[in-house]
Amino acid sequence: MSQPGTDSFAAVDLGSNSFHMVVATYTDGHLQIIDRIKDMVRLASGLDEKRDLTQDSMERAIQCLERFGQRIGEVPRSHVRAVGTNTLRQARNGAAFLVRARKALGHPIEIIAGREEARLIYLGVSHSVYGAGERRLVVDIGGGSTEVIIGRGFVPRLMESLYMGCVNMSEQYFSGGEITAKRMRRAMLFALQELESIETTYQKAGWDAVIGASGTIQAIHDAIRAKGWGEEGISAEGLQRLREFLVETGDQKKLVLEGVSDRRMPVFIGGVAILSAVFEALRIDQMLISDGALREGLLYELIGRTQDKDTRDQSIAELALRYGVDGEQAKRVATAAGRLFKQVQGSWLLDARADTKLLEWAAQIHEIGLAVAHAQHHHHGGYLLTHSDMAGFSRQEQRHLAVLVRLHRRKFDTQELAGMPDDERERLQRLCVLLRLAVVLNRSRSSAAPPSVSASAEKNRITLRFPSRFLSEHPLTLADLEGEQEFLRAADLELALE
């Protein structure tokens, strides 16, 4: 697929309205999009009253992902990232769907939080527009949520994800296709209520330019331009004329708008209501349009990870600083865990890249719970990691990190791993063992060189070998390790000491 000297990358966005895939090559610092595929799956419409995805909606999604999977078969696995957004954040049966979706696509699918979605959208937009020094307001209306971001250059400063999208807005206020002035105003009032919590803060922050992203805003722009109500971008006047035209037509089935496909039309009206409310709440006069959005942000994030510019590393460093982590102790534990990992990685089938990173991050912040209280600080640490905004991390990654920190000491509660797929549960359990042993071996918090420990592993057993007479000369270390043997035995894990 890629030419000599180039790297190929792919990003897949499982949105609430449409699924998108972008394939690109990266050469000499330049990203070139070579393929885009889009399918209007309307996943949000497939949520029933119990917030479960219906069988029909899942089948549509799986068929789409199978096509995507065929297209990216030659892209290196580490250069592919697939994420799910608002609808998959809500779906009660989302975990079961993700198992099937992973098989169809051939790659894992990460669920990202709303603020992380906003950050990636801003990253994609920032790489697609000029004006590095200007302060930008970026708006993206998706199927189930709307992201509003203010930033400068490539750095977002304010980010919010609001629970309103073109799908749920259209279904709630324009079901049946009837468009009246009263319905339009009710929809706008709902959107204005959602925006109320951010409008003062955002207006005070200010901006130099307003940029809209993704399909809904692009369709609105195309419709306005086709009607002759504006050429570049979307003006408040042009948006008002479009809104009045919709109400005057009165019925979605009678609408004919150049630039708006028949498949988009059922959710187009809700998108117009949301954008109208955004214009009103934030007093916008003119909005420019960007080609970049979430999937382009994913591509640049992927490229950064391959060049040791991983946003997640910075997030871990910021957490450690915020909660006053003892950096020297964290480094000692990380070093010990890394040494053990290298010795058992092959036997335990651990991933040399992804699992190393996860274990290192957990070691760096395993004591953040001490900022809350010493007693049960592993519980506090797990809670903080579960509920923190962590740029670059998916929800699954945060959960895994929280589990490692939660289980790094005391009782090995296997319930923390319940509900995970078998391979994922086994992998995390093994990483937990390595972190726990690294903590035990550094319990004295001494700056002296640690003992030369060799390790080997098989299924549910790990063996540590110490220099001759070391354990007899260090009774406290031996006592700590014997205590760890009991904790692990309760979880059907065996620690052997030699």
**308 is a domain residue:** no
Give, in order, the Cα–Cα distances in Å from 49 to each of 95, 162, 266, 473. Answer: 18, 21, 20, 65
User: Do 11 and 64 lie in a common domain?
Assistant: yes
The Cα–Cα gap between 380 and 406 comes to 8
The Cα–Cα gap between 378 and 371 comes to 11
**Per-residue pLDDT tens over the stretch 60-94:** 999 999 999 999 999 999 999 999 999 999 999 99
**Per-residue pLDDT tens over the stretch 134-179:** 999 999 999 999 999 999 999 999 999 999 999 999 999 999 999 9
User: Do 103 and 147 lie in a common domain?
Assistant: no
What is the model's pLDDT at position 6?
63
**108 is a domain residue:** yes
The Cα–Cα gap between 58 and 134 comes to 42
User: Do 400 and 458 lie in a common domain?
Assistant: yes
User: Do 93 and 140 lie in a common domain?
Assistant: no
**198 is a domain residue:** yes
**373 is a domain residue:** yes
Give, in order, the Cα–Cα distances in Å from 431 to each of 230, 338, 340, 341, 363. Answer: 57, 11, 10, 8, 11
What is the model's pLDDT at position 31?
87
- Using the 3D structure, point to which of 270, 302, 334 is the last residue of a domain: 302
pLDDT band with cut points at 50, 70 and 90 for residue 2: very low
Which residues lie below 8 Å from residue 415, measured CB to CB, with a gap of 6+?
none
Burial class (CB in 10 A: 0-12, 13-18, 19+), 254: exposed
User: Do 90 and 134 lie in a common domain?
Assistant: no
- pLDDT over threshold 90, residue 117: yes
- Using the 3D structure, point to which of 269, 302, 335 is the last residue of a domain: 302
What is the model's pLDDT at position 1?
40
**Per-residue pLDDT tens over the stretch 433-479:** 999 999 999 999 988 877 789 999 999 999 999 999 999 999 999 99
Q: Which of 71, 74, 81 is CA-nearest to residue 38?
A: 71
What is the model's pLDDT at position 27?
86
Domain of residue 48 covers 7-112+297-302
Query: Which residue is listed with tokens 């450690």?
Result: 320
Of 105 and 131, the structure prediction assigns the larger pLDDT to 105
User: Do 107 and 133 lie in a common domain?
Assistant: no
User: Do 285 and 359 lie in a common domain?
Assistant: no
**101 is a domain residue:** yes
What is the model's pLDDT at position 422?
85
Q: Residues of 333-356 as b/e, b for ≥16 C-beta within 10 angstroms?
A: bbebbebbbebbbeebebeeeebb
> Among 28-42, 187-201, 276-290, 350-364, whose mean pLDDT is lowest?
28-42
Please state the rounded mean pLDDT for residues 403-414.
Answer: 96
Structure token pair of residue 243: 């809104």
- By DSSP bridging, strand 135-141 and strand 209-213 are parallel
Full strand arrangement of the beta sheet holding 454-458: 454-458, 461-465, 494-497
The Cα–Cα gap between 451 and 204 comes to 57
pLDDT band with cut points at 50, 70 and 90 for residue 133: confident
User: Do 351 and 265 lie in a common domain?
Assistant: no
Q: Residues of 389-413 as b/e, b for ≥16 C-beta within 10 angstroms?
A: ebbbbbbbbbbbbbbbbbbbbeebe
Q: Which of 428, 379, 406, 409 is CA-nearest to residue 488?
A: 409
What is the model's pLDDT at position 5?
47
What is the model's pLDDT at position 132?
66
User: Do 477 and 385 lie in a common domain?
Assistant: yes
The Cα–Cα gap between 370 and 161 comes to 31
**Number of compact structural domains in the chain:** 3
pLDDT band with cut points at 50, 70 and 90 for residue 51: very high
- Using the 3D structure, point to which of 235, 267, 302 is the last residue of a domain: 302
Q: Which of 113, 83, 86 is CA-nearest to residue 98?
A: 83
**315 is a domain residue:** no
**Per-residue pLDDT tens over the stretch 179-209:** 999 999 999 999 999 999 999 999 999 999 9
Please state the rounded mean pLDDT for residues 241-268.
Answer: 95
Torsion angles phi and psi, residue 469, rounded to 5: 65, 5
CATH code, domain carrying 383: 1.10.3210.10
Torsion angles phi and psi, residue 133, rounded to 5: -90, -10
The Cα–Cα gap between 234 and 271 comes to 14
- By DSSP bridging, strand 80-84 and strand 209-213 are unpaired
CATH code, domain carrying 20: 3.30.420.40
User: Do 171 and 252 lie in a common domain?
Assistant: yes
User: Do 170 and 249 lie in a common domain?
Assistant: yes
**Per-residue pLDDT tens over the stretch 340-391:** 999 999 999 999 999 999 999 999 999 999 999 999 999 999 999 999 999 9
What is the model's pLDDT at position 240?
98
**120 is a domain residue:** no
- By DSSP bridging, strand 80-84 and strand 30-39 are unpaired
User: Do 105 and 197 lie in a common domain?
Assistant: no
Torsion angles phi and psi, residue 162, rounded to 5: -105, 140
**345 is a domain residue:** yes
